[in-house]
Structure 1
Amino acid sequence: MNEQTTPGPRVAIVTGGSRGIGRAAAERLAADGCAVVVNYAENAAEADATAAAITAAGGQAVAFRADVADESAVAALFDLAEKTYGGVDVVVNAAGVMRLAPLASAALDELDRMLRTNVRGTFVVDQQAARRLRPGGAVINFSSSVLGLALPGYSAYAATKGAVEAVTLILARELRGRDITVNAVAPGPTATALFLDGKDEETVARMAGASPLERLGTPEDIAEAVSFLAGPARWVNGQVLRANGGIV
């Protein structure tokens, strides 16, 4: 009788995985059976806590520091995933920076910071994903529903997310024949530190009420969309999923 080897788990890299939507996505993918590499930029304690929570729940996870805009650091991130778990199947680009201001008064250094993380970071991570993902893999980038809402104060941030959508749609076509899907999730207002920072209660309440569901999204709501695109949604490709509770 021929001895059969049991294939290992699917392996996911989640950038910005130490908190907010990234952490929820990492925990959800682990619950789905993925081994997870939790990428972080600065807060080692939060990243370690995410990995520890996954491990405590019976999953596999390791934390790894890497600036997503640094090609050498991102290459090392993928090296670590391959060395630890044998390959990479899912990449979730949840790392992001948001600074709000009217265009006329926006600080250009803040624009540069968002471009570096949101655009260059997505591009660099996607580049490694395009080179290394195994057949059957999935790339999930992060856009924002603010592109359609066109809210004042969001011009710089929305510009970076427009670039992410362009990269997403083009990469999906460039990976023809590889059995790899490339999609983006575009959250609406979601109760994370990134969204809540600097907003007063009235603003938060108004934005929560904009959805027909009359609430803010939760990180777990967005993680559910990530889980769908990472696993069962093999016929969804080159799309932007607007996970926003019905805001138009």
Structure 2
Amino acid sequence: QLFPTATDKTLTEALDRVSGSSTGFGVVALVTSVYIGSSFWGAIDTAFCRIYHVRCRSWVEQKRFALAMLVVVLLFMAATVAVPTLQSLLVASADDLPLGLSEIQGLIYALTLAAGLLLLFLILCVIYWTVPNRLVPWRAIWPGALAATFAIGIVDYAFPAYLSSISTIAAFGTTFVFVLIVLLWFYALAIIILGGATINAMRFEIHDTGELSMSRQPT
């Protein structure tokens, strides 16, 4: 799970209120989501152009790029829904697996975990390929994507466990605390993505120039 059980009640109540709201509220929520999402990808573009030392996209280019990335995010969300659905189908037919695979403990969990990590790796590859405002070769895509995949996987499992078992935040179920948890999670996610971009940019620069710009001596 992405969030600890302490926030389940708050999240369920919020979703119930949204589903029971008027159409006007839904339109406002949609417009707000698009605005926040486009602002997020605009900020990511600005950070990447600093990391890769390339020209930043103009305001119009950023908004056009951000809308395209929102479509990618929607596809990613649809794919993440498909993973637990696949897990449920595998669990339902676990007793009928051939070659004695049904006797292996934790096989279904391992397969779905691998599928989730592979999906995350592919999404990160798309990000590191499309966000930099220049053509990026594969050698400067997969290292950061692989490192970010492992980092996000670790945080994804450690973060809810920490909040549920250790942190006193888990003792509260208010909407404020839920929003705080979401902000903390996405802050960590953004740091990891930028860290992966830094790895890729350094690898790209070393391959092209033979050295890092930060290591060059001023003349």
Fold agreement, TM-score > 0.5: no
TM-score by length of 1: 0.28
TM-score if structure 2 supplies the norm length?
0.31
Report which of the two structures shows the higher radius of gyration computed on alpha carbons: 2
Q: Greater share of helix residues, 1 or 2?
A: 2
Larger relative contact order (CA 8 Å, sep ≥ 6): 2
Higher strand content, 1 or 2: 1
